[in-house]
């Protein structure tokens, strides 16, 4: 009689253990959607789902930051923009890196979701749950839109809360962004917010220095604001509306200007603009002549007004001068049609301009003396520096004196010095309110 082997004995047959859900009868009647976490855990998908969730959260955070910084960059008030992102202002390379990381994390999340969907279709136990990764991405798209909407409409508050989260990564963003920028320059890839790159592409082909300056001015014209071009408040020549006619004529003769703002008590209360040509028929009048009736209406603009829009408004209104005001309505500066034209073609000197208006002196090959009010754009041109040389520290500063206030974090005294990259700045003259002269040493 043939002996019965262990293989033929059903009680001794080695069977593969059933999945946990089917092996334990307590889970047989559980709703399918409730079984999903157990099935995922049993099939070793847990780590991949966690990774998918992390990628989607990172993408949401970076997307919200991009939306918030985008709104801040076009806010009406540069002072409000500065105070909101004071702890960390993202430079152009940092914004590029932030954008690349956000899109990269989104792409990885989509690829991982597709991979999970494919793996689920290969398992009969999970075949009914193929829709889960797809639904997760659909929900994420709606959440992303809501998050961007919230960040855009609450940009200032959101930036203050989110900035500490990315502050440790600022140095990494800077280094990585510089690498991407160099690659972009090599392959002629333009940053969306850097129209000036178009002029740099043509600089190597331009043999004439004036042509390069003209191309650079045209490229940056649409991105330049009134605040960057205006004459600051301290340089405004204006007259009090209470002056008699003789005192007024003395002021006008000394100023040499054809249009002069007229204020009441303070420069924050500009009443109108006086055209000197309107006074010509009245030169024979005595000191009691009511010249105030000749005033023309002043044109006020915000600091954030772009030059291309301002040029169009000058043409439509047939005016040549505008008063630049801050968010509180105070006079912050003055801009003329000549200032706008000089932004494109460079300085235009007429018969009334004096030669000593040049705001720097070259002591030797490596030493210069600049006035604190010199614009950073002019400073970079004189020293042959890149236009974004001070991008990481300048924040809202437009003049050399403003840059030094950022570097010192206070109003420095005469003799104090600070170094930045290859430059050493020494305050040569300063008072209680501003920096007057700065000695700059290169190298």
pLDDT at 261 over 90: yes
CA distance 309 to 305: 7
What is residue 274's predicted lDDT score, i.e. its pLDDT?
A: 92
What is residue 168's predicted lDDT score, i.e. its pLDDT?
A: 60
pLDDT at 68 over 80: no
17, HSE (Cβ side, Cα atoms, 13 Å): 6
**100 token code pair:** 């690349």
Q: Residue range 289-294: average pLDDT?
A: 91
Between residues 56 and 305, which one has the greater pLDDT?
A: 305
CA distance 24 to 17: 11
What is residue 84's predicted lDDT score, i.e. its pLDDT?
A: 44
Q: Name residues whose C-beta falls within 8 Å of residue 331's C-beta, 6 or more positions apart in sequence.
A: 233, 236, 263, 267, 268, 270, 323, 324, 325
Helix (H, G, I), strand (E, B), or coil: what is residue 415?
coil
pLDDT digits (tens, 9 = 90+) for 393-406: 877 777 888 888 88
Which segment of 111-120, 170-179, 339-348 scores lowest on mean pLDDT?
170-179
Residues of the chain with pLDDT > 90: what percent? 8
Between residues 47 and 179, which one has the greater pLDDT?
A: 47
N- to C-terminal Cα distance for the chain?
Answer: 104
- Bridge partners, 225 (sequence order): 306
CA distance 319 to 198: 31
Between residues 24 and 357, which one has the greater pLDDT?
A: 357
pLDDT at 334 over 90: yes
Mean pLDDT, the chain, integer: 73
Can you tell me which residue has the tokens 């420095």? 412
pLDDT digits (tens, 9 = 90+) for 73-101: 655 444 444 444 444 455 555 666 667 77
Helix (H, G, I), strand (E, B), or coil: what is residue 346?
coil
Q: Residue range 16-20: average pLDDT?
A: 45
What is residue 351's predicted lDDT score, i.e. its pLDDT?
A: 52
Question: Is the overall model pTM greater than 0.75, yes or no?
Answer: no
What is residue 257's predicted lDDT score, i.e. its pLDDT?
A: 87
pLDDT digits (tens, 9 = 90+) for 265-274: 889 999 999 9
pLDDT at 361 over 50: yes
Rounded to 5 degrees, φ, ψ at 406 are -70, -40
pLDDT at 335 over 80: yes
Which segment of 68-72, 101-105, 144-148, 337-341 scores lowest on mean pLDDT?
68-72
Query: 192, exposed or middle or buried, with CB in 10 Å at 0-12, 13-18, 19+?
Result: exposed
- How far is C-alpha 256 from the geometric centre of its chain's CA atoms? 38
What is residue 49's predicted lDDT score, i.e. its pLDDT?
A: 74
CA distance 415 to 429: 8
The pLDDT confidence band at residue 31, using thresholds 50, 70 and 90, is very low
Q: Which domains, from first to last, does the chain contain?
A: 1-192 (no CATH), 195-223 (no CATH), 227-345 (3.10.580.10), 356-442 (3.30.465.10)
What is residue 260's predicted lDDT score, i.e. its pLDDT?
A: 92
Q: Residue range 287-291: average pLDDT?
A: 89
CA distance 70 to 86: 15
What is residue 185's predicted lDDT score, i.e. its pLDDT?
A: 46
What is residue 20's predicted lDDT score, i.e. its pLDDT?
A: 42
Q: Residue range 194-216: average pLDDT?
A: 53
Q: Which ranges of 43-91 does DSSP label H, i.e. alpha helix?
A: 46-73, 78-84
- What b-and-e string marks burial along 128-162, b requiring 16 or more CB atoms within 10 Å of the CB? ebeebbeebbeebeeebeebbeebbeebbebbeeb
């Amino acid at each position: 009689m043939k002996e019965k082997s262990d293989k033929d004995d059903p009680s001794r047959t080695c069977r593969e253990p059933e999945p946990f859900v089917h092996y334990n009868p307590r889970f047989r009647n559980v709703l399918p959607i409730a079984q999903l976490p157990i099935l995922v855990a049993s099939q070793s998908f847990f780590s991949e789902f966690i990774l998918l969730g992390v990628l989607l959260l990172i993408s949401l955070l970076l997307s919200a930051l991009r939306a918030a910084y985008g709104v801040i960059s076009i806010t009406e008030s540069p002072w409000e923009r500065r105070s909101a992102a004071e702890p960390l202002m993202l430079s152009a390379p940092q914004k590029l890196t932030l954008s690349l990381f956000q899109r990269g994390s989104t792409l990885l999340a989509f690829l991982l979701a597709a991979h999970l969907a494919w793996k689920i279709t290969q398992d009969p136990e999970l075949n009914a749950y193929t829709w889960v990764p797809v639904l997760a991405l659909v929900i994420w798209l709606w959440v992303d839109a809501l998050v961007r909407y919230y960040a855009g409409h609450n940009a200032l508050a959101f930036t203050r809360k989110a900035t500490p989260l990315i502050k440790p990564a600022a140095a990494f963003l800077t280094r990585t962004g510089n690498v991407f920028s160099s690659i972009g320059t090599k392959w002629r890839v333009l940053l969306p917010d850097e129209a000036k790159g178009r002029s740099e592409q043509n600089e190597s082909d331009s043999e004439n220095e004036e042509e390069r300056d003209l191309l650079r001015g045209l490229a940056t014209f649409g991105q330049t604001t009134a605040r960057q071009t205006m004459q600051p408040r301290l340089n405004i020549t204006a007259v009090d509306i209470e002056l008699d006619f003789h005192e007024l004529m003395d002021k006008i003769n000394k100023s040499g200007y054809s249009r002069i703002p007229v204020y009441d008590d303070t420069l924050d209360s500009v009443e109108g603009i006086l055209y000197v040509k309107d006074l010509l028929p009245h030169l024979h009048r005595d000191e009691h002549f009511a010249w105030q009736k000749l005033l023309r209406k002043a044109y006020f603009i915000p600091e954030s007004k772009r030059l291309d829009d301002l040029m169009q408004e000058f043409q439509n209104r047939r005016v040549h001068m505008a008063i630049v005001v801050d968010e509180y309505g105070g006079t912050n500066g003055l801009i003329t049609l000549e200032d706008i034209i000089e932004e494109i073609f460079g300085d235009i000197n007429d018969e009334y301009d004096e030669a000593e208006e040049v705001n720097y002196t070259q002591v030797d090959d490596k030493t210069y003396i600049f006035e604190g009010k010199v614009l950073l754009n002019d400073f970079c041109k004189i020293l042959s520096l890149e236009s974004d040389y001070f991008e990481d520290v300048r924040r809202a500063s437009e003049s050399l004196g403003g840059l030094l206030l950022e570097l010192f974090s206070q109003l420095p005294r005469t003799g104090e010095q600070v170094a930045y990259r290859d430059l050493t700045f020494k305050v040569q003259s300063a008072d209680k309110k501003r920096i007057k002269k700065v000695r700059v040493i290169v190298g």
